[in-house]
Structure formats: C-alpha cells, structure tokens
Amino acid sequence: MNSNIPFEVTAAVRFLREGILQTLLIVVGVAVGVSVIVFMSALINSLQSNLMARVLSGQAQIVLSPPKQSARPMLQLGPNSVVRVVQTRVQQQTSIDQWIKLRTILSQMPEINAVSPMASGAALITRGSATRSISLLGIDPDNYYRIVNIPADMVEGTSRISGQDALIGKDLAEDIGLRTGDKLHVSNASGTNRTLTISGIFDLGNKGANLRNVIVTLNTAQGLVDLVGGVSSIDVNLNDAYAADAVADRIVSAHAVKADSWIKTNAQFFTAMNAQTISMTTIRLSVALSVALGIASVLVVSVVQRTKEIGILRAMGASQGQVLRLFLVQGGIVGLLGSIGGVLLARLMLVFWVLLARNPDGTNFFAIDITPAIYAWTAVLATAAGILAAAVPAINAARLDPVVAIRG
Amino acid sequence: MADQVLNLKDIRKAYNIDTEVETEILHGIDLNLNKGEFCALIGPSGSGKSTLLNIIGLLDRPTSGTLAIEGRDTGALNDTELTKLRGQRIGFVFQYHHLIAAFTALENVMMPMLVQRGFADAAMQQRAEYLLAQVGLTKWQNNSSQNMSGGQQQRVAIARALAVNPALVLADEPTGNLDTKSAETAFDLMREVNTTNGTTFLIVTHNMSLAKRCDRTIEVIDGAIHGAV
C-alpha cells in the first residue's frame, strides 16, 4: 500500500477495481456523455467564432456619422395648441464636424486600435451604353485595410490604390465586362465626373456588395460625393469587439456624432447566436445530468453491495466522514476517468468530422479550435459532477448503522 | 479499578420506546471484565447476547446504565468519540470473518491501523506481518482474502482484531462457521494471544466445550445475566 495515498483513496480505487465490469461500464457511459459535450461544444464554439470573425472582418465595429438632421418646428406646443405636424427632414449628405480633430482624439484612445475616415455616397458608372448605380467608398487604404481586410479578398490586380485608381467587385466586373487596367467613368447626380483606372477586383463573398461597392481613395471620393474636405463616416475598431456598445456611448457623449456599434447593427445575428448558445447549453446540461444520474445509480448499487464492508470499517473505527469520502472519491474517480476517455473520444470524433465535413472544393467548413482549457475544464467539471452525483449514496453509506450493516 | 477493562452497571436496552410495543431486551446487566480475562458469553438464541455485545463494542448505545472502557465512562461521549475509542481499544472477530475482499490478507490486518492513522506506513506493515506470523499465515499474506479457506480467513480476522493492540477483543461466535479442526485452531489461537499478550477476550459461543475452556462463562437468559458457570 502506498504510504502517500490516503486510506479513502486506496479503498475507493480497490472497490472500483473489484467491481471492474461495473466500473468500466459507468466510465464508458461517462466518457460517451463527456465526448458528446466536448464534441458539440468544440463544433458550436468554432462555428460561432468563425461566424463572428466573418461578421467582424467585413465591417467596422463602430461607425461614426454626422448626427441625424431634424426639422425644427416653428410652432411651439402650448396649452391652446390643437395639432402640430412636423415633417421628417430629408437627410443631406454632410461631413462629420471637425473630423480630423476627432480622428486624432480617437486614435489616442487606448481601447481603439484602428480609425479610418470614409467619404461615401451614391454614384453612377458608365461603360459604353451601360450604366450602373454604385456605392462609392472613399477610403484611406492603410487604415481601412486594418478594419476590412480587402487585400485578402482580392481576386485580380492589387489592392493598392492612388488618386486615379478604383477597386471593383467581381460581380460588377462580370456584369459590365471590366478587367484590371480598364477605364471606368464615374459621375454623380450634380454632374461631377471622373475617369478612373481599375487596379483590382475583389470578392467580398456577398453578391450585393460585389455588384455595388467601388473603392477609391478618400480624396477621389470627396470630389465625387460632394464632400470636399469632409468625410461621411469614421470607422473604428477596438481591441475588444464586445466593448463596442460602451465605447460608442462614450464617444457620443463627448462628440457631436452618431455612433452605431456592430452589436446593435447586427442584433438579429446576436439573437441567433444566443438562441444557439441556449439550445447548446440545454443539450449540455441534459447530457451532464444523465451522466451524473448514471454515476449516482451505480454508486447506490455499490453502497448496497458493500453494506457489510461499510459496517466492518465502521466497527474498526472508520468515521462517518471517512466512509462519506470513500464514496465521494469513487464518484470523482469515475468522473475523472470518464472525462479523460470522453475527451479522447471527442478528439477522435473531431478528427473524423474534419475529414468528412468539407466544402465542395475540398476545404474545411471552418477551423476547429479546441484550447487545452476545454480539456482541463471538462476534466474538472466531470470530476466535480462525479463527486456531486456520489453525494447521496455517500451520505447513505455514512449514515448506515454499523450494527445493521454488519448484520447485512 | 486500574485493571478493569470493562465495567457495566445496570445496562438496559429497549426498543420502540414510549410506544405500545416498547420491548426491553436487556434488563439491568452488571458485568466487569478484568485485564487478561478470557470469558465466554453463552445463552440461547434471542437471549440478548448480540445486543449486549454490540453495546459493549460501542456499536450501539444502552437505553440506560453506565458503560466504562478501561475506567472511561462512555455515556458522555459523542458518536465521533465513541468511534475513535472503539477503533483504538476494541477489536472484533465476527462469525463470518467479514474480511474486505478488495484487499489482501496483509492489508486486511493493516486496515484498523490504516483507518486510525489515514496513511499506510512501514511500522503498520511490520505489525501486520508480525500478527499474520502469529496466526501462521505468513505464506498467505499477499493472498486475496477470497483465495483462502474459511479457517484461514478467520485467523486473518483474529490477527486484524489484534492490529491496534486493543484492550478488549469481542468475538461473536468466531468458530460458529468453521469445521471442528479449524474451530479448535482459531480458539487455541485466541487463547494463546490472551496468554501471551494479556488481551481480554469476550467470546460469544454456543459451543459448550469451548466455553468450558474459558476462564469464566457468563450466561445470559432473557436479557439478564444468570451468573457465572
């Protein structure tokens, strides 16, 4: 007998080893339950991270724009007023007030890691007899690419643009037959027009965006959307994407701008993610409960089988606490072994999943990301669940009257 | 008093107290056992022997009366203190040996010490080996208790009862489940330990020939002691 191992642990291990078939069955049962939890957690977490990354990589976390223009009523409401109708004002294309100063202030905030001004608006492109309405995005490439990774989405040409260059979407290029190096005639409603050269074609993975968006430099866009020297919005990215709401509120309270956080503009996405998380948690809890009940039922039987042994241990001076711990340790060991088996099984299932679940082009649906912390947490939680599940049978064992127990 | 291992005064035990079916099993037992005594406790089935033995072994509490082990009154002790005292000063030998099958013979003998101290140590193992040698089972010390004969298992149970060097060994029909030869061996062994170590024994038995070979025979009939034979 090992002199470093407490009596309760030694006895628990021996008892489990003696009923090896019973022990193996419950350990396998726990392992299967744990593997389902780990496998599903890994899959859903990876899917959510992937979706989140896709959502975040295509948009700014906070978009600052000029405050909404509202009509100022001429008639003040008083006690004798009957009816007042205020028509909603047509929103004019205006610049963010003192945007350069604001950009400097934002760049100095520690929680912000990228600030990119943008001048955007509607325009028309013409090629031969074909005309298409487009959304012109005037950007500062170095800063904008830190927010939306356009270089990674290029399918042709280069993402580097200067005054006369434009990037267009794959679908727009196909629609009007443009290629890199071709000229593009851009005009706006007030008659300003410019001829640009297509330096690259991008694919944002969204047909609408590919058909509509034309990316040019900030200076070029400012002239074409009637915002000379101004910007229509400032895109901001944070170190912690989930702090977007709080940071947006702080910016609004200190500056004359409207701020939309990605959390608010993607409310439906978040609702779907939350619904997924809730259903996943429900499945996890159900599986965990059935695992715990399995451990408990085996230990209840074990207590009945070992009644005489418990009695004899009590006669030899074993305290109620020692008997209690003996069965709690058994629950913990079953939980621990089951969790180790479960994690290995889940790993195997994930390997198969990665091999089998692929896109038509052979690439993976998304990267499965399992951190060692998941393994550690699973082991800790399964062991704790085992101990918890053992509580009732352990208490029953500890409360056995030694006289009755010895008599069996 | 110093040599008195067990002192019972007016011990009563009743069940279903304060109900219409209240039944008194023991009716005022007075009994003293001195150090080194080797006593038999006899009586017909249902006379209250096992109840008395359970009370003496601190496995059960009397309804009234006082019980002292080596002069220490146990009436005021709580369950934890009783358990501790039982583990340190009383050894048990049961009719059906009750060895723990998950452990070897040696480990079974170590068990009372292990329960007391929490961790195994070399001294514990040496003591268990010494006791197994005393009962002639050195060769079998690493055998699982399941792979031993009934007589051998009972000898291991006797060694186990002696593990903590108890003041009193209570044996409940220790030879009742053995053949004549094994019964003789087990009895002789207990007698030898009694003579050599001075350990006090109280042996419940139905075997009158064995009872007659004890220093004193205490007869219990209908819950009362009918005097020494």
Give A122-158 pLDDT, tens digit per residue.
Answer: 999 988 888 899 999 999 999 999 999 899 899 999 9
Q: Kindly state the tokens that stand for A224.
A: 């074409």
Evaluate if residue A255 carries a pLDDT over 50.
yes
As to burial, measured by CB atoms within 10 angstroms (0-12 exposed, 13-18 middle, 19+ buried), residue A258 is middle
Residue A84 pLDDT class (50, 70, 90 cuts): confident
Single-letter code of the amino acid located at B110: M
Residue A218: partners with Cβ closer than 8 Å, 6 or more residues away: A117, A118, A119, A138, A139, A140, A231
**Beta strands across the sheet bearing B64-69:** B23-34, B4-15, B64-69, B72-73
Single-letter code of the amino acid located at A280: M
Q: With CB atoms and an 8 Å threshold, state whether B120 touches A2.
A: yes
Residue B227 pLDDT class (50, 70, 90 cuts): low
State the pLDDT at residue B22.
85
Percent of chain A with pLDDT over 70: 100
Domain-wise residue ranges, chain A: 7-55+270-407, 99-256
Task: Give B207-215 contacts, CB < 8 A, sequence gap 24+.
Answer: B207/B175, B207/B176, B207/B183, B208/B42, B210/B40, B210/B175, B210/B183, B211/B40, B211/B42, B213/B187, B214/B38, B214/B39, B214/B40, B215/B37, B215/B38, B215/B39
Is the minimum CB–CB distance between B140 and chain A shorter than 8 Å? no
- Over residues B169-193, the pLDDT tens digits come to 999 888 887 888 888 888 888 898 8
User: Are residues A270 and A242 in contact, defined by beta-carbon separation less than 8 angstroms?
Assistant: no
**CA A171/CA A211 separation, integer angstroms:** 5
Calculate the dihedral angle through the C-alpha atoms of A221, A225, A231, A235, rounding to the nearest 10 degrees: -70
Higher-confidence residue of A76 and B104: namely B104
Instruction: Name the residue among A15, A317, A406 with its Cβ closest to that of B84.
Output: A317
Please count the CA atoms within 13 angstroms of the CA of B55 that sit on its side-chain side: 30
Domains plus CATH for chain B? 35-60+84-228 (3.40.50.300)
State the pLDDT at residue A320.
92
Single-letter code of the amino acid located at B107: E
Angle at A136 between CA A133 and CA A142, to 5 degrees: 155
Q: With CB atoms and an 8 Å threshold, state whether B111 touches A319.
A: no
Q: Kindly state the tokens that stand for B4.
A: 């008195």
| Residue found under tokens 């007023």 | A81
Chain centre distance of CA A392 = 39
Angle at A335 between CA A330 and CA A338, to 5 degrees: 120
Neighbours of A46 (CB within 10 A): 18
Do strands B216-221 and B224-228 pair parallel, antiparallel, or not at all (unpaired)?
antiparallel
- The interface pTM score, or ipTM, of the predicted complex is 0.87
- Over residues B120-142, the pLDDT tens digits come to 999 999 999 999 998 889 999 99
Percent of chain A with pLDDT over 90: 44
Chain centre distance of CA A306 = 49
- Over residues A330-377, the pLDDT tens digits come to 999 999 999 999 999 998 998 888 888 777 777 777 777 677 787 788
State the pLDDT at residue B228.
53
Residue A238 pLDDT class (50, 70, 90 cuts): very high
Taking the alpha carbons at both ends of chain A, their separation in whole angstroms is 28
Q: With CB atoms and an 8 Å threshold, state whether A317 touches B101.
A: no
**CA A123/CA A120 separation, integer angstroms:** 9
**CA B220/CA A400 separation, integer angstroms:** 28
**CA A389/CA A383 separation, integer angstroms:** 10
State the pLDDT at residue B229.
41
Q: Which residues of chain B are within 8 Å of residue A1 when distances are taken between CB atoms? A: 107, 110, 114, 120, 125
Mean local confidence (pLDDT), A196-220: 92
pTM of the model: 0.72
Q: With CB atoms and an 8 Å threshold, state whether B102 touches A318.
A: no
How high does pLDDT run on average in chain B?
90
Residue A84 phi, psi (nearest 5) = -135, 130
Mean local confidence (pLDDT), A92-99: 86
Angle at A258 between CA A255 and CA A260, to 5 degrees: 125
**CA A97/CA A78 separation, integer angstroms:** 34
**CA A91/CA A12 separation, integer angstroms:** 75
Do strands B200-204 and B168-172 pair parallel, antiparallel, or not at all (unpaired)?
parallel
Is the minimum CB–CB distance between A399 and chain B shorter than 8 Å? no
Is the minimum CB–CB distance between B196 and chain A shorter than 8 Å? no
Mean local confidence (pLDDT), A157-179: 92
Is the minimum CB–CB distance between A253 and chain B shorter than 8 Å? no
Is the minimum CB–CB distance between A358 and chain B shorter than 8 Å? no
Q: With CB atoms and an 8 Å threshold, state whether B83 touches A317.
A: yes
Q: With CB atoms and an 8 Å threshold, state whether B59 touches A17.
A: no
Mean local confidence (pLDDT), A226-233: 91
State the pLDDT at residue A74.
73
Single-letter code of the amino acid located at A216: V
